[in-house]
Structure 1
Amino acid sequence: MKTSLKLSVSAALLALSCVASAKDWTTIRIGVDPTYAPFESVAPDGRVVGFDVDLGNALCARLKAKCVWVQSSFDGLIPGLQARKFDVILSSMAATAKRREQIDFTNRLYRNQTKLVARRNSGAKPEATALQGKHIGVEQGTVQETYGHEKWAPSGVQIVSYQSYDQAYDDLTTGRLDGVLMDAVQGKLGFLDTPRGKDYAFAGDTVYDAKIMGDGDAAGIRKGDSDLRDALNTAFAGLLADGSYKKIEARYFDFDMYGK
C-alpha cells in the first residue's frame, strides 16, 4: 500500500514537472529548410537568414525566448518535429488538411501562390493536357509535389522530385526539365530575378487546389503543444498590431504577403 502510494505521488510529481517544462519555452528550436531564398537560406558566414528567420526571431523576442535554428530537408521537417529534433517548423509550409492529420499549426503567417516556371516563349501551360510527356520538377514534401502527382501525373506528365529547388533549377537550365512547379515568390526572387533565370518566366495562370494547398503558410507545432501554439499566435498578433510584421516584410517584398 505504501509502495503504491509512493508510486502514485511520484507519478503525479513527474506529470506536474512535465507540464511545467512544456510551458517553459525559454528556448525554442525551429526547424527550417534553408534552400528557399528569400524565405530561408544560408549566408556566407553560415547563419540561416531570410523572411521566415526574421519572423521567427521576432516571435521569440516577443516570448522572451532564445531561437535555435535547426536545418533539415523539407521532407524531413514533419518527421523531425515529431521526433522532437525541434519544437516548431517555420519554413514556408502550407497548413493543409493532410498535414493537419500529423501536426498542428499556428494561425496563418502569410499566403503564397503556386506557379509554373518554364523557358520564355516555350508555350508551356500549367495544364495536364499541355504538359503530357513533359518533365516537371518539384521539391520533395511540398504541396506542389502532391499537386503534380495527383493532378498531372495521371495524364502522362513526368513529375521529378528534388531535395531542393536549387537542384531543380540546375536541371531546368540544362534542359533535363521542361518546367518547375513552385511557390511564386520563391520562384521570382530565388530564380527568375537572378542571372541564371534570365531566359525563364512564369507560364500561365496560378495553380491552386484548396484541398491540396490549404489556405496559407503557418508554423507547424506538435499535436499536444497547444501552449506553444497559443503563445506564438499571441506573439504574431502583436507583430501585426504594432507594425513590426510590415517592417520585416518590407526587407524582402514590395507587396503584401499576409493577405486578407
Structure 2
Amino acid sequence: MRRMSLIAATGFAVAGLTLSACGSNSLSNNSPGAGSAPGASGTAAGGAVDPTLAAKVPAKLKSAGKIVVGTDPTYAPNEMLASDGKTVEGWDVTLFDAVAAKLGLKTEYVPAGFGTIILGVTGGKYDMGVSSFTINPDRKQKVNMVSYYSAGTQWVVAKGNPENVSIDNACGKSIGAQKGTVQADDLAARSKKCTDSGKPAITQVIQTGQDQVTADVASGKTVAMLADSPIGLYAVKQTGTLEPLGKIYDSAPYGYVVPKDQTAFANLLVDALKAAKADGSYEAALKKYAVEAGGIDNFAVNP
C-alpha cells in the first residue's frame, strides 16, 4: 500500500537519473512548465480502440492525441526505468497503456519525484499521475482518484532472517522504507510504540527512492524493509537473497490521479478499465509481471 502520505528493478540504484519535467496543457489552461524533454514516451497498446469511449475523450486531450503522465520510476515492477535509462516500463505502465488505447490515445511518461506528482497534476504540468498512489481521504480532497488495483504492505528480510526480525517487535533494528509512504509512517508508529514501552527505537532508514531502500536490505545496511506487496515480492524474486517476512497487511486500492475538475474524464477511465478487463488486456498486463493477485474489477472514482 505504497505512498499514503502526501508529503528498479534490483540493479537497485539508478545512477544519474534526472527527474525531468515537461508541461501539458491538454487538460489545463495553465502554461507548460519549463524543463527538459520528458524521460520517456510510448504508444498505447492493448487492444482495439473503443469508438464509443474515444468519442467521449475531452477535446484538449483528443487534440493533443496523448496523455502526459507523471510517474516515479523507482518502484519496480510497478514503475521502473528500462535498460536505456529513460524509457519508463512496468506493469502499471503496461496496464495504463492498455487503458489509454481504449481511448485512442498515446501515453507520455514523465519521470518525477513521487512527492511532486499530485502538485504537478493540480498545477497542469501533467494530465494525470500513474505511480502506485494509494487512495485515501486526504488525496480525494485534492484530486479525483480512479481505483484499478489492490496492494498491501510486505516486510522483506535476508534469506533465513539471520537477525531474527519480528514484525511485532522490531525495536532496536535498522529498517528501511521509502519517504512519503505509508510504510514510513508505519515504521515511525512502531518505533514510538517501542520507546513508549521503554525499548530501543527502530533505526528508520528512509530513502527517497525505493530502489535504494531495496539496495540497503540486500547489502545488509538494514535488516528489513517495508514496501508495497508487489514491490517487496518482486525484490525477493529478483535478488534470490531475500525473503518475505510475515503476511501482507493493510491492503488498499491504488488510484490514478486526475484533476479535481475532470470528474467526467475520471469516469471515462473507469469505463476504459472495464473495457480492458473485458478484452483481457487488464489481466495480461498484470500476468506479465506476475502481480495478478492484486487485480480488481470494482473500478470506481473516489471509492
TM-score by length of 1: 0.80
In 2, the alpha carbon distance for the partners of 1:255 and 1:22 equals 31
Classify 1:198/1:256 alpha carbon distance in 2 versus 1 (closer, same or farther; 3 Å).
closer
Is the 2:95–2:281 Cα contact (8 Å) retained in structure 1?
no
AA aligned opposite 2:219: T
CA positional deviation for 1:70:
0.9
Q: How does 1:208-223 map to 2 (within 5 A)?
A: 208=250, 215-223=252-260
Tell me which structure has the larger Cα radius of gyration.
Answer: 1
Classify 1:254/1:225 alpha carbon distance in 2 versus 1 (closer, same or farther; 3 Å).
closer
Q: Is 1:174 paired with 2:219?
A: yes
Match of 1:233 in 2: 270
In 1, the alpha carbon distance for the partners of 2:248 and 2:142 equals 27
Q: Bigger CA drift: 96-105 or 225-234?
A: 96-105
Q: How does 1:1-260 map to 2 (within 5 A)?
A: 23-26=59-62, 27-45=66-84, 46-106=86-146, 108-119=147-158, 120-122=160-162, 123-127=164-168, 130-155=169-194, 156-189=201-234, 191-194=235-238, 197-208=239-250, 215-253=252-290, 255-259=292-296
4+ residue stretches of structure 1 with deviation over 6 A?
Answer: none
For 2:283, what is the secondary structure of its paired residue?
helix
Is the 1:40–1:52 Cα contact (8 Å) retained in structure 2?
yes
Aligned length: 231
- Judging by fraction of residues, say which structure has more helix: 1
Match of 1:6 in 2: none
In 1, the alpha carbon distance for the partners of 2:60 and 2:276 equals 21
For 2:68, what is the secondary structure of its paired residue?
strand
Superposition RMSD on alpha carbons, in Å? 2.3
Q: Which runs of 5+ in 1 are unaligned?
A: 1-16
CA positional deviation for 1:254:
6.5
Is the 2:70–2:110 Cα contact (8 Å) retained in structure 1?
yes
Percent identical pairs in the alignment equals 26
In 1, the alpha carbon distance for the partners of 2:210 and 2:176 equals 8
| Per-residue deviation, residues 30-76 of structure 1 (Å, max 9, x unmatched) | 11111112211111233111111111111211112221111112222
For 1:218, what is the secondary structure of its paired residue?
strand
For 1:111, what is the secondary structure of its paired residue?
strand
